[in-house]
Amino acid sequence: MRIAIVGTGKMGKMHARVFSGAGHEVTCFDKHKTAGELAAELAPLQRVSSNSSMVASDTLAHAVKDKDVVVLLPPVDAVGEVASGIGSHLSNGTAVISGTSVMLPAAAELSAHLSGRDVGVFGMHCLFGPSATDFGSNSIAALNMGGLEPAAFENVKSLFRSSFVSRTGSAKIVDIESPDKHDSIMADTQVSTHLGFLSMGTAWMRAGLFPWESEFYKCGTDHAKAVMMLRVLNGERHVYEAIALRNPHARKHVLQYVKSVEDLFAMMMSGDRAGFTERMQRTREFLSRSNAAGVARESAAAFGSIAGAEMAAKSNSHLSLLAMADSWREMGTDLKDNAMCSTPPFQIRRFIISLAFGNELLERNINAAFESDEIKKHDAIFLESARDWSSAIARKDSEAYRSLFDKTRAFFSDRLEWGMEESTALIRAFRAGKLRG
């Protein structure tokens, strides 16, 4: 097939690599790069094959002309600009695909600019990152947003299924009924965990500490928290920003997460240990019912083979993790129903949360929350950080969001690559069944 890729960030390059490797003719365009600059970036991705090609285009019109498939992977806010620029250059029967992580805004823009044209509009959201190679254990969310006969949608799914192949098989295609349903699932599975891990990073930055050097955050679950936080910060900021600010279902999750943090911290400060314990037991039961990766039966030492250490001599409250699960319970989020569209990083984040509710560790968490003045100081900084992130998201303040993200990322800049390596090891160990709750 002749395929155009518009937008060559990390995900755009992954699509180009995969489709070219599958034998398709791939043309790439990125308005922020000259054709020469883009060609230089694409060169290392080119697989040696007499049946494939990967070229860079210097104009959007040239990139999409006479193509069978056009895959749009710009930031969500740029979809409208791209859609308005491609309409008159598309051939009849072209499949236009949005690969964005937020579908409702993209669907609206594509409908506004492509309505009435003889083209198909689809969503194909890869639920894995650009470094993924084990496609057989990953999924792609598929949406038919109209324009052509159903057979065209089946052809698009077949293209992705036959291209995203590895030794473990093809990526699983998960049909989603609508852009709204897609975004609802993404909000359920991503928003509060992104907020929690970003708030962790900002809190540690404001406290002036690196968790792996602190006696409170060195080992086990804390190691996992830290490296997954670094993984978020090492990602493309516009992706997390879109999920938080452009997904219409995100705000309610953000507000509930911060309320859960506030409620639990207020109990800590007032000495309401009985109320805190009862609420955490209800949350633990909720996790068990929703089969959230299996509520941990053992302690954070489950991470010993990865972290290289047992549980830290000193513990902390894990307020950030407890509040994530508490917010899910308060909102009645169906984690089991949404598991079909969960990403590998979310699966490990969910597993880390379940560890915090294991019998041994939950007791340690509660003891630290009520007996350690030092932990209360740390958690006060965390609460302030969560509020700042929540405020930026609730107000849809892109400038404030970017400022928080960039400052926090800069603080941890020297350890981002290490965090990616360690978090990838965690994900692989979990997917291989080497970590068990």
| Torsion on CA atoms 144, 149, 154, 157, rounded to nearest 10 | -40
Quote the number of domains for the chain: 2
- Cα–Cα distance, 16 to 8 (Å, whole number): 8
The model scores a pTM over 0.75: yes
Structural domain span for residue 256: 180-431
Question: In terms of domains, do 353 and 297 share one?
Answer: yes
- Cα–Cα distance, 87 to 364 (Å, whole number): 59
Question: In terms of domains, do 152 and 82 share one?
Answer: yes
Note the pLDDT of residue 435.
60
Boundary (domain end) residue, out of 176, 204, 220? 176
CATH value at residue 36: 3.40.50.720
State the DSSP code for 248.
T
Tell whether 436 is covered by a domain.
Answer: no
Question: In terms of domains, do 147 and 200 share one?
Answer: no
- Cα–Cα distance, 330 to 314 (Å, whole number): 30
Block means of pLDDT (10 residues each) for the chain, 437 residues, are 96 94 95 95 73 87 97 96 95 96 96 94 93 84 90 96 91 95 93 96 97 83 92 94 96 97 98 98 90 44 43 77 96 78 83 86 92 95 98 96 98 96 87 62
Question: In terms of domains, do 146 and 213 share one?
Answer: no
Boundary (domain end) residue, out of 176, 211, 230? 176
Tell whether 78 is covered by a domain.
Answer: yes
Question: In terms of domains, do 134 and 200 share one?
Answer: no
Question: In terms of domains, do 153 and 248 share one?
Answer: no
Question: In terms of domains, do 140 and 225 share one?
Answer: no
Question: In terms of domains, do 144 and 251 share one?
Answer: no
Question: In terms of domains, do 232 and 164 share one?
Answer: no
- Cα–Cα distance, 34 to 30 (Å, whole number): 8
Tell whether 280 is covered by a domain.
Answer: yes
Question: In terms of domains, do 159 and 242 share one?
Answer: no
Boundary (domain end) residue, out of 176, 209, 234? 176
Question: In terms of domains, do 252 and 235 share one?
Answer: yes
Which residues contact residue 70 at a Cβ distance below 8 angstroms, ignoring those fewer than 6 apart?
3, 4, 6, 64, 86, 90, 94, 95, 96, 97
- Yes or no: say if 65 and 89 are a contact pair by the CB < 8 Å rule: yes
Tell whether 437 is covered by a domain.
Answer: no
- For residue range 186-208, list pLDDT tens digits in order: 999 899 999 999 999 999 999 99
- Yes or no: say if 256 and 330 are a contact pair by the CB < 8 Å rule: yes
Which amino acid does the sequence have at 282? Answer: R
- Cα–Cα distance, 233 to 252 (Å, whole number): 23
Cα–Cα nearest to 148, from 179, 117, 171: 117
Note the pLDDT of residue 2.
96
- For residue range 11-23, list pLDDT tens digits in order: 999 999 999 999 9
Q: How far is CA 57 from the centre of its chain?
A: 30
Question: In terms of domains, do 149 and 186 share one?
Answer: no
